[in-house]
Structures are given as C-alpha cells and as structure tokens.
C-alpha cells in the first residue's frame, strides 16, 4: 500500500514538473491557445477588510426585478433618445421597454412596458456593452463580430471595426477576439472607447443552448495565465482603430470621466480598475485607479454626480489562487462543466470617486434578489442593473422617493401587441392593486379587448431605502 502511494505521489510530482516545462493547449474553442506558467506576484491575493465603505449590508435586497423570466441575461441596459429602455439578450435579440404612461389604459403608469416579440435580431454573436451615440445609433460590443452599429431609423447593421488598424504601432491588423464594453465621448467627434477582453475567443455553449458563452470564454482566458486584454479607441471620422493599453488581465467595463480627461477600464482578473489618461501631462499613460476590490469587477459607468458605479459580478473568493498553479488550471480546463465548482451567488455594486476612493458598497449577500450584476446605468433617479447570468433583463434600485421595492409582472394585450408591464408595489398597495387589476379585466372583457394573462407578486416591505442604509443617500 505504501509503495503504491509513494509511486502515485512520484507520478503526480513528475507530471507537475513536466507540465511546468510545456505549454498545454486549451480545449475547444480555445485550442489554438496554451496554458502557460505565470508569475504569482502579478496577481494580488490580498483581501480588503470588509469594514468602512465595504461594510456588509443588504441594500440590494430592496431592489426589484424587471421582466423576470422574460429577458435572458441582458449584460446592460441603455436609455434611447426617445426615453425607452433598450435591452439585448444573450441570443442577440433587441428589446425595447417604453414608459407605461405611454401605453393606453395603463393601470400603473409609473413603470415600464416591454414590447413583445423582440424588436430586432443582431445575428449570431453575444452582445455585451452598448450605448446610443449622439445620432441615435445603437453602438454594440459584440463578442463575436466586434464593434457594430444598429443604424437609427433603418435598423441596418454595420460592422464598424473587427480589427486594429494596419498602421497601429503596437498591434497592426490584429483581430478583435472578445469585444466587451464601450463608452462614447461627448467631444472628440464621438470617439468610441472600448475593450477587447482577451485573445481567447468566445465559443458556443456546449451544454446550455445555442448562445455564445462569455463566462466560459473568460474562464478559458484565465486558465491560460496570459493577460491579453486591451483598451482601444475607434474614430468614427477616420474609421481608425488604435490600441491605447494592452497586457490587461481580462479587459472589461469602460467609462469616461465627467471631464473626459481619462477613460477607465476594468481589469476583472486582477480585481482593479485602470485609468488611461487622455489629457494633461499624463496623457497617453495608464495607471491604477483602484485595486483590491471586494469582488470581481465587471462593468463601470459614470454616476450623475461625477463618481463611478462599478459592478461586482461575484464576491472575492479563491479564484486568484488558481492562477498560481498550472496543474490546477490544466485540470479545471479539461473538467466537464458539471464537475466544475459553481459560482458563488451574490449581488454587489460599488461607488468610487474619480480619484479611486471607495465610497459605498451595496450588497445582496446571497443573491436572492439581485445577483451577478454586470453593469449599472443611472437614469431618472434610479439605478438599472444588467446581469450576465440570470434570466431577468435588469433590476432597479429606487431612491427614497420611490416606495416600492418588488416588481411583479403583468401580461397584457393591447391592439394585438403583447406587452409585459412591471408594477411597482408596496405591501400596503397589494389589495388595491389586485382590485384595480380585476376591474381592468372586467372592463376589457366588456369591451372585447385583451385580458390579464398572469400576475406574479412577492411584495417586500415598503420602507424607505435611506431609512435602512443612510449612506445610500448618495444616489
């Protein structure tokens, strides 16, 4: 027995030594990339103290969901020039939700009505970050196709760029393998700043349906141990694409500062946000805005007060330790999906200052209400959250002025167009709401119109958000 154990240990040890000397290829779709050694010092394993601005809380549990089980993993949300919400699901379908006040006979006019079926289809790929430009065009980072545009008015799809320009001094003509997020300058002729997360591309999900699995792609890039992400700029006038910064360990969310003196880019694997200077004496250089975050950051956006919102998609865990050991990365890369450790479920949103000071962490500790937050958009006194994994399009956190915290769904028919209307209800309004819905149904039946197809409601306490977390008044 002891002889067998000694032989097994010797075999494993010799295998580990051999693995450290060779580059092991990834399984498909990353088979042209290899798992390499990495300098452990290049990844910070320090955990921040969960106190002060990082103190644990349950603020995000007072948010509510929009279009639960209707929208499948919209990475973010954008507000159109006409004031509608735009959502893009993981299959590439475009949805719009208009203020319910625009819907004839709306029972609850202060919420959103989602038009079904989908408005458009962007074709194969996985849309991630997106914004509207000054002309009303929808600019989308598609992980497969690159930087694309859905033209205002016509809906025509245009590929703006799928590679770096041939005259770029750092990576001439190199393809965009994993286009992720963007922000659009208000000056500079509407220059588009965007991220190319890594050199390992995104492939179709092998076990969860016909969509491009960006999380699996992220994990494959992590297994390689190679920081290959980039921050880029696209000039609409010259149609030139240039690299601003490279060597980023999964380049993710992108946001310009209020004065556009710098652009931020999230470095997910290293749990930090980088800052690339566009103006002033530091122009053209890149430094660290904030590091040692309490979770793995995803999206970043400009807040209404000039600070930044950072989405923390999963909490701090042992994942960075994986990077140190090549043997572990090889084993994980080749494990079947069902055998891999599950992602911890939580919701996290962090507000930081333009100088990188953490201001406040908003949490749902177990992700029971809000989980896997991938982006934040502040609009009309509310925060709208995208998510990368769950089947609701976004969630919103109202300010103290908005009492409701849970969003049931109401399916209606208006002139043959199916809509899903979110209802913002507090506990004390449930009975009244149900009576109004019953009256609406009776009226519609008498008029020969549509009827309510279903209502789901789990209503939480309507206490003011700021009474629960006074620091949340920063909204």
Per-residue pLDDT reduced to its tens digit, 365-397:
999 888 999 999 999 888 999 988 877 654 555
Q: For residue 35, what are the CA distances in angstroms to 328, 341, 389?
A: 11, 19, 26
Domain assignment present for residue 25? The answer is no
Domain assignment present for residue 102? The answer is no
Q: Which of 148-162, 333-347, 414-428 has the highest mean pLDDT?
A: 148-162
Residue 374 main-chain phi, psi, to 5 deg: -110, -15
323: domain range? 53-97+115-397
N- to C-terminal Cα separation, the chain: 65
What is the pLDDT at residue 365? Answer: 94
* Residue 82 backbone class (left: φ over 0; alpha: ψ -120 to 50; beta: rest): alpha
CA 207/CA 338 separation, integer angstroms: 9
Domain assignment present for residue 35? The answer is no
What is the pLDDT at residue 396? Answer: 59
Domain assignment present for residue 32? The answer is no
CA 377/CA 372 separation, integer angstroms: 15
Domain assignment present for residue 244? The answer is yes
Domain assignment present for residue 471? The answer is no
Domain assignment present for residue 60? The answer is yes
Return the percentage of the chain with pLDDT > 90, whole number: 59
What is the pLDDT at residue 392? Answer: 62
Which of 16-25, 124-133, 135-144, 403-412 has the weakest average pLDDT?
403-412
pLDDT of 321 over the 90 cut? no
What is the pLDDT at residue 72? Answer: 87
Read off the pLDDT of residues 197-227 as tens digits, 9 standing for 90 and up: 999 999 998 877 789 999 999 999 999 999 9
Domain assignment present for residue 321? The answer is yes
Domains of the chain: total? 1
CATH number of the domain encompassing residue 180: 2.120.10.30
363-369's contacts with Cβ under 8 Å and 24+ in sequence apart are 363/56, 363/57, 363/58, 363/59, 363/60, 364/58, 364/59, 364/60, 364/61, 364/63, 365/56, 365/58, 368/61, 369/60, 369/61, 369/62, 369/63, 369/64, 369/65, 369/395
Read off the pLDDT of residues 91-105 as tens digits, 9 standing for 90 and up: 999 999 998 877 766
Read off the pLDDT of residues 102-119 as tens digits, 9 standing for 90 and up: 776 655 556 788 888 999
Edge-first strand listing for the sheet containing 127-132: 127-132, 138-142, 146-150, 157-161
Instruction: For residue 149, give the 3-state DSSP assignment.
Output: strand
pLDDT of 172 over the 90 cut? yes
């Amino acid at each position: 027995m002891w002889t067998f154990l000694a032989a097994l240990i010797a075999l494993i040890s010799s295998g580990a030594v051999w693995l450290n000397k060779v580059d092991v290829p990834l399984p498909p779709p990353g088979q042209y990339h290899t798992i390499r050694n990495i300098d452990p010092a290049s990844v910070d394993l320090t955990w921040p103290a969960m106190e002060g601005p990082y103190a644990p809380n349950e603020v995000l549990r007072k948010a509510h969901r929009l279009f639960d089980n209707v929208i499948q993993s919209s990475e973010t949300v954008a507000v159109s020039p006409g004031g509608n919400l735009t959502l893009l699901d993981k299959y590439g379908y475009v949805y719009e939700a208009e203020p319910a006040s625009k819907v004839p006979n709306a029972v609850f006019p202060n919420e959103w009505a989602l038009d079904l079926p989908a408005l458009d289809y962007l074709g194969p790929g996985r849309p991630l970050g997106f914004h509207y430009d000054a002309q009303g065009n929808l600019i989308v980072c598609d992980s497969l196709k690159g930087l694309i545009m859905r033209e205002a008015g016509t809906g025509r799809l245009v590929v703006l760029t799928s590679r770096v320009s041939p005259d770029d001094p750092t990576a001439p003509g190199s393809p965009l393998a994993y286009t992720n997020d963007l922000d659009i300058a208000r000056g500079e002729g509407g220059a588009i700043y965007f991220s190319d997360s890594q050199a390992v591309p995104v492939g179709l999900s092998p076990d969860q349906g016909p969509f491009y699995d960006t999380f699996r792609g992220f994990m494959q890039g992590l297994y390689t141990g190679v920081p290959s992400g980039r921050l880029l700029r696209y000039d609409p006038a010259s149609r030139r694409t240039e690299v601003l910064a490279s060597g980023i360990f999964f380049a993710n969310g992108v946001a310009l500062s209020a004065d556009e003196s710098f652009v931020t880019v999230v470095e997910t694997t290293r749990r930090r946000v980088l800052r690339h200077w566009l103006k002033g004496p530091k122009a053209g250089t890149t430094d660290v805005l904030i590091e040692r975050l309490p979770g793995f950051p995803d999206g970043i956006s400009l807040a209404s007060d000039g600070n930044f919102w950072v989405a923390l998609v999963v909490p701090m865990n042992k994942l960075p330790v994986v990077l140190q050991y090549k043997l572990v990365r090889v084993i994980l890369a080749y494990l079947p999906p069902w055998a891999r450790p599950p992602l911890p479920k939580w919701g996290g949103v962090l507000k930081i200052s333009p100088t990188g000071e953490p201001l406040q962490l908003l949490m749902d500790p177990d992700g029971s209400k809000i989980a896997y937050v991938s982006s934040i958009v502040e609009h009309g006194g509310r925060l709208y959250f995208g998510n990368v994994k769950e089947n609701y399009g976004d969630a919103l956190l109202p300010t103290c002025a908005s009492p409701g915290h849970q969003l049931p769904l109401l399916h209606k028919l208006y002139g043959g167009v199916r809509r899903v209307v979110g209802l913002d209800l507090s506990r004390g309004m449930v009975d009244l709401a149900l009576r109004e819905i019953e009256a609406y149904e009776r009226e519609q039946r008498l008029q020969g119109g549509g009827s309510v197809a279903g209502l789901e409601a789990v209503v939480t306490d309507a206490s003011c958000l700021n009474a629960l977390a006074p620091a949340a008044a920063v909204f």
